[in-house]
Amino acid sequence: MVGIIGYGTQIPRYRIKVKEIAKVWGADAEALSKGLNLYEKSVPAPDEDTATLSVGAAKNALARSGIDPKLIGAVYVGSESHPYAVKPTGTIVSEALGICPHVHTADLEFACKAGTEGMFIALHLVKTGVMECALAIGADTSQGAPGDALEYSASAGAAAFLMGTKNIVAELVDTQCYMTDTPDFWRRENAHYPEHGGRFTGKPAYQKHVFGAVEAILEKTGMKPKDFDYLIFHQPNGKFPVQAAKQLGFTEAQYRYGLLTPTLGNTYSGSSPMGLAATLDEAGPDQLILLVSYGSGAGSDAFVFRTTKHLLTNRDLAPRVRKQLNEHLQYLEYGEYAKFRGKILKPE
Amino acid sequence: MNVPRHWRETPERYRMEAAKCRKCGKISFPARLICPECKNKVFDKINLSGKGKLLTYTIIRTAPEGFVDIAPYAVGIVEMKEGVRVMGQITDCDLLSLKTGDKLISRFRRINEEGKTGLIMYAYKFVPDVGI
């Protein structure tokens, strides 16, 4: 039996409201919020990045699992905002957690799916007996170009999952992937902001891959939407996952705990993993969870987990997601936000 | 700070690694070669819990090079749960409501960078311990 033995998240304290961004660009904030089901987003402090958020999330995962960091055989950090173009985030994170030197690390990139890529690899390395424990992190401090639709949603956060075989809180039931080469979103080398295909990111991209992964894993496992207690889809905004869930026959009761985007924004590689963490915060034992990520470029990873009784004792050993999301917030004006995110051009 | 020095100090900067004297139990942070209490030279490595309380602090308004963009910011001395006193920046806080005795917890953060193409230096900072 393999599964999650500890999980943790880290969300910056800073927020900016959609209406504050819309005010600067002359956009209709009400229409934006209503249309995208998006009201505010997290903003990283100037001293936070993918490495620092990853360390924070992983420390919470370690606290929940109670294991010695030296037992961890692999650390995978999935992100599209690694601090360096060349120098691994995984080594920084592993060193900060005291896991070095006998560890395999890799930085993964696959737009918003990089977090679940790490989870997929970590779970299967443990499942095949290569190592006792493996750590997978999805983290991002994503940027949207000023005035672009992505600026309203691109946010920051991290989720970490420790995979192992003892004291499992959510057992892995099955996985399924769905990939094609679909150019809906990209960022070229040295480009500061990504480019995207506008409405092309919807039906042929997000919907096709999420639907493809869901249909494939339902067929593989012989399960139906009603068999699941909880559902988490990737959340580029608050509209896509809700629309997809309803079309596929899921209900609000299944996705409500995992839907964080309306007040968190899109944490990219952290998005669906954070939704899973928020769901584990609320789930009971012996419940079925369906997690489906989506990464532009494009692909989806689907996972079915079954919670165990250990979840109930494990989850209060670190802060819950909704606590990090809703408490001790500091709201920024657009000028402060622009400074925090390095959007102001200064002389060298 | 140059790259080799930052690298040498990684254990204390990244994970608050301290030295506990095997003879008298005194904890030294950063680690020492000789115990200042009993002159013993054998230590066990321990990581500080990161939890402590603020003993004193100042607010930097005229910051040195490399820190200008984050001014004003607080720097304080924190008494850790293990008894050692550590100096560090206090971040994610309201500078006007900061006070001695506040419960703080360490966080892994960016400290500085050697320009836009140089090394990014990470280390501990402190934030109010509010359970998140």
Closest among A297, A290, A199 to A248, alpha carbons compared: A290
Could you tell me if A116 and A301 are in contact, meaning their C-beta atoms sit under 8 angstroms apart?
A: yes
Band (B116; pLDDT cuts 50, 70, 90) = confident
Write out the E strands in chain A. Answer: 3-10, 14-17, 40-43, 72-78, 104-108, 133-141, 156-164, 170-182, 185-186, 195-196, 230-233, 288-292, 297-307, 330-331
Q: What's the number of domains chain A is made of?
A: 2
Neighbours of B129 (CB within 10 A): 15
Does A39 lie in the same domain as A134? yes
Residues 76-115, chain A, touching B (beta carbon < 8 A): 83-84, 92, 95-98
Does A204 lie in the same domain as A139? no
Host domain of residue A221: 170-310
Does A24 lie in the same domain as A120? yes
Does A193 lie in the same domain as A139? no
Could you tell me if A76 and A137 are in contact, meaning their C-beta atoms sit under 8 angstroms apart?
A: yes
Does A244 lie in the same domain as A263? yes
Q: Using one digit for the tens of pLDDT, what is the confidence trace for A15-53?
A: 999 999 999 999 999 999 999 999 999 999 999 999 999
Q: What CATH number is associated with residue B32?
A: 2.40.50.840
pLDDT (0 to 100) of residue A52: 98
Q: Would residue A348 count as lying in a domain? A: no
Does A179 lie in the same domain as A282? yes
Among chain A residues, CA nearest to B93:
A330
Closest among A105, A119, A115 to A266, alpha carbons compared: A115
Q: Using one digit for the tens of pLDDT, what is the confidence trace for A106-163?
A: 999 999 999 999 999 999 999 999 999 999 999 999 989 999 999 999 999 999 999 9
Host domain of residue B76: 3-128
CB pair distance less than 8 Å for B109 and A52: yes
CB pair distance less than 8 Å for B132 and A49: no
Q: What does pLDDT average to over chain A?
A: 97
**Would you say residue A103 has pLDDT above 90?**
yes
pLDDT (0 to 100) of residue A239: 95
**Would you say residue A190 has pLDDT above 90?**
no
What percent of chain B lies above the pLDDT cut of 70? 99
- Locate tokens 């997690």: which residue? A291
Does A150 lie in the same domain as A27? yes
Q: Would residue A347 count as lying in a domain? A: no
pLDDT (0 to 100) of residue B1: 65
Does A243 lie in the same domain as A119? no
CB pair distance less than 8 Å for A319 and B131: yes
A&B contacts, CB < 8 Å: 57
Among chain B residues, CA nearest to A63:
B49
**Cβ contacts of B120 on chain A, cutoff 8 Å:** 49, 83-84
Query: How far is A146 from A188, CA to CA, in rounded Å?
Result: 18
Residues 319-338, chain A, touching B (beta carbon < 8 A): 319, 323-324, 327-328, 330
**Would you say residue A307 has pLDDT above 70?**
yes
Q: For residue A343, what are the CA distances in angstroms to A110, A280, A303, A336, A337?
A: 24, 36, 37, 10, 8
Q: What CATH number is associated with residue A143?
A: 3.40.47.10
Q: Using one digit for the tens of pLDDT, what is the confidence trace for A239-248?
A: 999 999 999 9
As annotated, the active-site residues of A are 80, 112, 234
**Would you say residue B41 has pLDDT above 90?**
yes
Does A253 lie in the same domain as A192? yes
φ/ψ of residue B125, rounded to 5: -130, 175
**Would you say residue A348 has pLDDT above 80?**
no
**Cβ contacts of B107 on chain A, cutoff 8 Å:** 52, 56
Closest among A90, A138, A88 to A113, alpha carbons compared: A138
Q: Would residue A53 count as lying in a domain? A: yes
The reply to whether ipTM tops 0.85 is: yes
Min Cα distance A107 → chain B (Å) is 17
Query: How far is A163 from A2, CA to CA, in rounded Å?
Result: 7
**Cβ contacts of B108 on chain A, cutoff 8 Å:** 51-52, 55-56, 96
Does A114 lie in the same domain as A82? yes
Lowest mean pLDDT among A20-34, A88-102, A194-208, B98-112: A194-208
Q: What's the number of domains chain B is made of?
A: 1
Min Cα distance B40 → chain A (Å) is 26
Q: Which helix (H) or strand (E) holds B51?
A: strand B51-60
Does A323 lie in the same domain as A304? no
Q: Which helix (H) or strand (E) holds B52?
A: strand B51-60
For residues A249-275, average pLDDT: 98
Q: Would residue A133 count as lying in a domain? A: yes
Q: Using one digit for the tens of pLDDT, what is the confidence trace for A169-185?
A: 999 999 999 999 999 99
Closest among B39, B18, B119, B122 to A52, alpha carbons compared: B122
Query: How far is B97 from A44, CA to CA, in rounded Å?
Result: 22
Between residues A1 and A346, which one has the greater pLDDT?
A1
Could you tell me if A96 and B16 are in contact, meaning their C-beta atoms sit under 8 angstroms apart?
A: no
Does A316 lie in the same domain as A330? yes
Give the one of A45, A49, A319 whose C-beta lies nearest to B91's C-beta: A45
Instruction: Choose the mutation target among A9, A11, A47, A190 for the interface with B, i.e. most B CBs under 10 Å.
Output: A47
Q: Using one digit for the tens of pLDDT, what is the confidence trace for A3-21?
A: 999 999 999 999 999 999 9
Q: Would residue A346 count as lying in a domain? A: no
Q: Would residue A225 count as lying in a domain? A: yes
